[in-house]
Amino acid sequence: MDAHLERISQVNPTLNAIVTLVTDTARDKAREADVAIIRGDAVGPLHGLPVAHKDLTRTKGIRTTFGSKVFQDFVPDDDALIVERLRAAGAITIGKTNTPEFGAGSQTFNEVFGSTLNPYDTSKTCGGSSGGAAVALASGMVPLADGSDLGGSLRNPASFCNVVGFRPSPGRVPIWPSQASGFSMGVQGPMARTVTDVALMLSAIAGPSSRSPISLPEPGNRFKPPLTRDFNGTTIAWTYNFAELPFDPRVTTIVNAQRSTFELLGCTTEEAEPDMADARGIFRCWRAWYFELCYGSLLKEHRNRLKDTVVWNIEEGQRLTGPHLGKMEIKRTALLERFRRFMEHYEFLILPVAQVPPFDISIPYITNIN
């Protein structure tokens, strides 16, 4: 624990990844963990490992701001379920990681703590919205961190910072508390520096819970390492033009150069892509609905304290009607069915995580892709 706290003191003042640090509590818990080992107690799979929680994740007695001036002094009375499970597995909370306001955006900055910088190039963004987690991992501040993902927030910052962010299937990691317990587009998941570490962390946080009505029944221990397998004959769909989105050629060049790696493992790669018609409209609709549901009540009193993209999403949600939501759900169901049929022919679909490489820290978001 002392080694990780020392590393945080060395690099965090520059990178700004961990925004709330609980040094004394972490050290006390680390001493307790040492004593448990000396006594020969049974310990969990994450025993003694420091973990940082995204500042969207509720932590009992530890400030949780959601990256918003509205909640800059908020201290929860309870832990999120993912925090409970990490601690039950032996992990020790070391602090909270930075996030854009309410997780909105692929650039980690807010009015409470400022910007989090990419550890490989501090003039660039680390991505978002689990950007603080990705930077803390990449720079060696922590070995494990949790994150969340509605539209790329586990995967995008992991890609920008050369770590692993895994978006599990909805219900694999049950979410509690939640204002929309049946909502299946937003998930929580593990982040670490290696796939093996992510799998170990997933084994501790996955599994059913009565507090989440969409939680899946399989226990988390199915994900415990080792992860070795024979990939010979595995079919992979290799996508160059996903959903007709533009991709920066620097991104596609790097991704396409890895195709031979999969073929050397024995995989069969085919150029193919699912029909993603209507995907962008579906996502924007349900994202707006979710933001209005969660944060719409803040708009009247706190409009001037919310960032513009949060306000925009809330107002988009307020304009939604029942018939429009119905049409979008029909389109979403059709999209999921088309994707299911596509994946009957492939075990994996490989495509770029992000449309662009890390961009300048001063740019809130990319508006044009060459």
Encode pLDDT of 73-87 as tens digits: 999 999 999 999 999
Nearest alpha-carbon partner for 280 in 272, 288, 269? 288
Q: Which of 130, 148, 153, 178 is catalytic?
A: 153
Q: What is the pLDDT of residue 370?
A: 77
Q: What is the pLDDT of residue 106?
A: 94
Q: Spelled out in words, what is the top-level CATH class assigned to the domain 2-223?
A: alpha beta
Q: Are 44 and 89 in contact (CB under 8 A)?
A: yes
Distance between terminal CA atoms of the chain?
45
Encode pLDDT of 82-106 as tens digits: 999 999 999 999 999 999 999 999 9
Q: Are 360 and 123 in contact (CB under 8 A)?
A: yes
Q: What is the pLDDT of residue 206?
A: 99
pLDDT band (50, 70, 90) for residue 240:
confident
Is 159 an annotated catalytic residue?
A: no
The residue ranges of every structural domain in the chain are 2-223, 279-343
Q: Are 274 and 310 in contact (CB under 8 A)?
A: no
| pLDDT at 246 exceeding the cut of 90 | yes
Q: Are 328 and 281 in contact (CB under 8 A)?
A: yes
Q: What is the pLDDT of residue 244?
A: 86
Mean pLDDT of 130-135: 99
Query: Above pLDDT 90, what percent of the chain?
Result: 98
The C-alpha torsion from 113 through 189 and 93 to 212, rounded to 10°, is 110
Mean pLDDT of 238-245: 89
Query: Above pLDDT 70, what percent of the chain?
Result: 100
Q: Are 51 and 86 in contact (CB under 8 A)?
A: yes
Mean pLDDT of 233-240: 95
| pLDDT at 274 exceeding the cut of 80 | yes
pLDDT band (50, 70, 90) for residue 117:
very high
Q: What is the mean pLDDT of the chain?
A: 98
Is 115 an annotated catalytic residue?
A: no
Q: How many angstroms separate the CA atoms of 236 and 86, rounded?
A: 33
Encode pLDDT of 294-340 as tens digits: 999 999 999 999 999 999 999 999 999 999 999 999 999 999 999 99
> Which letter, b or e, does each residue of 264-278 get, where b requires 16 or more Cβ atoms within 10 Å of its Cβ?
eeebebeeebbebeb
Q: What is the pLDDT of residue 67?
A: 99
Given the structure tokens 């929580």, which residue do they identify? 188
Encode pLDDT of 31-51 as tens digits: 999 999 999 999 999 999 999
Encode pLDDT of 10-28 as tens digits: 999 999 999 999 999 999 9
Q: Are 98 and 140 in contact (CB under 8 A)?
A: no
Is 54 an annotated catalytic residue?
A: yes
Q: What is the pLDDT of residue 8?
A: 99
Q: What is the pLDDT of residue 199?
A: 98
Q: Which of 68, 129, 130, 139 is catalytic?
A: 129
Q: How many angstroms separate the CA atoms of 188 and 94, rounded?
A: 19
Classified as helix, coil or strand, 189 is strand
| pLDDT at 241 exceeding the cut of 90 | no
